[in-house]
């Protein structure tokens, strides 16, 4: 198996890339910052071998970067089987305080940055007559629940859910499956997000999560591997909540 994982220089994305390598896959690692992405790849290569992992950094909301990610899989490893669209950013503040530029940035990275690589992968699979490609996107509990301070983030993740359903319907005839994982609160917090250091916020998160704790990045990464695997061959258009029961209430 050959996989491309965006937003994989840290956090959940890095854990997903590591899980793919552990099952024998070869992986193209995408990340915004070139130095951080190269450092992540060096760490993964030390674990799995230089011939099984490659870096392709850049902003996934740009068409040329989306094209380069998919091209890297075919050029380096000869094929592409699974794409994980995980790149994402967040800015937490009251809705009345968001600037238009902040809204545009979040929607560009989180939604456009998922669509463009997915479109490019689908084009490559269709042109090559390859069936069985898998696309998995990262959604969020914020796509379903209204969470204060997350207006553009929640909107972008709701967009991911509907994008997944639409692409799943369009691409099923080509054997391409499209799904999403919707994580709950994770012990890895996005860079620049400081509110989670507040003890009251942490207590609220634990109270609203039936399992009473945050997930580890490994617990979130595992379901991505399932959706990319033959075990999920009849699963498409699904939004799988991995949230400790948060959305079950």
Task: Give the Cα separation of 113 and 32 in Å (integer).
Answer: 11
185 is catalytic: no
Q: Catalytic: which of 61, 134, 139, 140?
A: 140
Mind spelling out the 3-state secondary structure of 101-149?
A: HHHHHHHHHHHHHHHHHHHHHHHHHHHHCCCCCEEEEECCHHHCCCCCC
Q: Catalytic: which of 61, 134, 157, 185?
A: 157
- For residue 19, give every residue at least 6 positions away whose Cβ sits within 8 Å of its Cβ, in sequence order, or none: 218, 221, 222, 224, 225
Nearest residue to 114 via CA among 159, 165, 174, 53: 159
Tokens of residue 222, six digits: 């595992």
Task: Give the Cα separation of 27 and 68 in Å (integer).
Answer: 14
Q: Catalytic: which of 9, 61, 134, 153?
A: 153
140 is catalytic: yes
Active site residues: 140, 153, 157
């Amino acid at each position: 198996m050959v996989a491309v994982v965006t937003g994989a220089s840290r956090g959940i994305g890095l854990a997903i890339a590591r899980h793919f390598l552990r099952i024998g896959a070869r992986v193209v690692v995408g990340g915004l910052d070139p130095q951080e992405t190269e450092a992540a790849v060096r760490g993964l290569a030390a674990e799995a071998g230089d011939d099984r992992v490659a870096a392709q950094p850049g902003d996934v909301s740009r068409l040329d970067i989306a094209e380069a990610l998919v091209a890297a899989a075919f050029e380096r490893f000869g094929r592409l089987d699974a794409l994980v669209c995980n790149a994402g950013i967040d800015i937490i503040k009251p809705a009345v305080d968001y600037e238009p530029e902040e809204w545009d940035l979040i929607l560009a990275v989180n939604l456009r940055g998922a669509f463009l690589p997915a479109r490019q992968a689908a084009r490559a699979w269709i042109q090559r007559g390859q069936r069985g490609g898998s696309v998995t996107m990262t959604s969020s509990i914020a796509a379903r629940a209204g969470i204060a301070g997350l207006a553009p983030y929640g909107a972008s993740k709701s967009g991911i859910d509907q994008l997944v359903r639409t692409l799943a319907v369009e691409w099923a005839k080509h054997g391409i499956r499209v799904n999403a994982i919707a994580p709950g609160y994770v012990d890895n917090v996005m860079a620049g997000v400081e509110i989670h250091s507040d003890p009251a916020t942490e207590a609220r998160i634990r109270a609203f999560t039936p399992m009473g704790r945050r997930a580890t990045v490994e617990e979130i990464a595992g379901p991505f591997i399932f959706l990319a695997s033959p075990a999920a061959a009849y699963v498409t258009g699904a939004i799988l909540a991995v949230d400790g029961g948060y959305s079950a209430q």
